[in-house]
Amino acid sequence: MREPKLDRLQHWMSEIIVDRENAEAAHTSKTASQWIEPAAARELVLPRPGLSPLDRLQIYNEMYFLRLRNALRSDFPALSAVLGKAAFDALVQGYLDRHPSHHPSVGRLGAHLPEYLEASRPEDRFLAELAYLEWTCSEVFDARDVPAAALSALEALPPERRGDLRFEPRPTTRLLAFQYPVNSFYQAFLLDTSEGTTPVPPDPQPSWTVVYRKDYSVWRLDLTAPAAAILSALLEAMTLGEAIDAAGEGIEVLDAASLFALFRDWVGESLFARIAP
């Protein structure tokens, strides 16, 4: 047999590895056959003791999907624990059928999993929200970094001028709104060292969590409804005064000193890149 060119061999091997069927079916598929005829497979791949050419190809085929599954389990450990091994594996299989890996980095594989859960299992809202939180933590960890605004930029202005300030968020700052207490559940999961137990999803209860990066670590902070309303408005480029007005009646529980302490804490936690009139 005339040896194929390297690019044809690479394309052929890739089609067999990523095919959801086994190697025996994959090497006869239309996509693989366009690069190398099925009859040539046994001449291209040499046998080994106890392994036929197709057996050897099957090893690569199986390991590819095992690697993808393990990558998703690494990015969504709490989701995997709640579902259990069999259910999580089934979820991954359906997800990869709908969203096969195309990005050069396996770290981007789970980008659509929260939306996939939301669409495929709308009755399990908690699972989708948990996936959103876990994926946001991954995104924040990898997000582009910019210097954080200094606390002095806020403290230097007299109180009467602070209402005109705008707070530009860092790319590492994300605000999430949930129907469940997702972050408290996730924190308890991370702290639980018991083996073999399946976490029980909590009852519905609205919650708000800001995910951010500080000192090369990802942090999560739960917010009250008024604080979340103000931060949401600030992230939409409203001035501080506009954000307070947009927060509505709930903000009345906070006096001026408490409000300033809230903004000071957010700046100190590196949520913002710039503070300016």
Closest Cα partner for 269 from 207, 225, 220? Answer: 220
Amino acid (1-letter code) at residue 69: R
One CATH from 2.60.120, 3.90.930, 3.20.20, 3.90.550 for 144-276: 3.90.930
Give the residue among 52, 256, 42 at the shortest CA–CA distance from 160.
256
Q: How far apart are CA 153 and CA 244, in angstroms?
A: 19
Per-residue pLDDT of the chain (277 residues; tens, 9 = 90+): 567 788 888 888 888 888 777 777 777 788 878 888 887 776 788 888 988 888 888 888 889 899 999 999 999 999 999 999 999 999 999 999 999 998 888 999 999 999 999 999 999 999 999 999 999 999 999 999 999 998 887 777 777 777 788 999 999 999 999 999 999 999 999 998 787 778 999 999 999 999 999 989 999 999 999 899 999 999 999 988 888 888 776 666 566 677 788 888 999 999 999 988 7
- 112 beta partners: none
CB 21 within 8 A of CB 29: yes
Give me the residue spans of the domains in the chain. Answer: 1-71, 144-276
Inter-helix orientation angle 53-75/6-18, to 10°: 60
